Amino acid sequence: MAKLTLSISEKVIARAKRFAGENGTSVSKLVAEYLDGLTPPLDLSGVPPHIVSLIGIAAGSDPGGHKHYLGRKYS
């Protein structure tokens, strides 16, 4: 298992240790579970490569942009 160094305020560390102790776990396990939950693994087995290549293609686009365009077009 790899080691990670974080810079966190002493107050936050104290609260995290207290919470971990009250819940029968460690701060390391809390952080690991939290970070793991942020980026769940994608199961892409069986998905055709041309579909996989589309993942993230619209990242950064304006989700309301097309609606705005249609509003201007038909007004």
Report the pLDDT value the prediction gives residue 73, as an integer from 0 to 100: 92
Q: Give 15's pLDDT tier (boundaries 50, 70, 90).
A: very high
Q: Is the pLDDT of residue 55 over 90?
A: no
Q: Is the pLDDT of residue 37 over 90?
A: no
- DSSP string of 31-52, one letter each residue: HHHHHHHHSPPP--TT--HHHH
Span 26-47, mean pLDDT? Answer: 90
pTM of the model: 0.53
Report the pLDDT value the prediction gives residue 24, as an integer from 0 to 100: 96
Report the pLDDT value the prediction gives residue 61, as an integer from 0 to 100: 81
Q: Are 20 and 26 in contact (CB under 8 A)?
A: yes
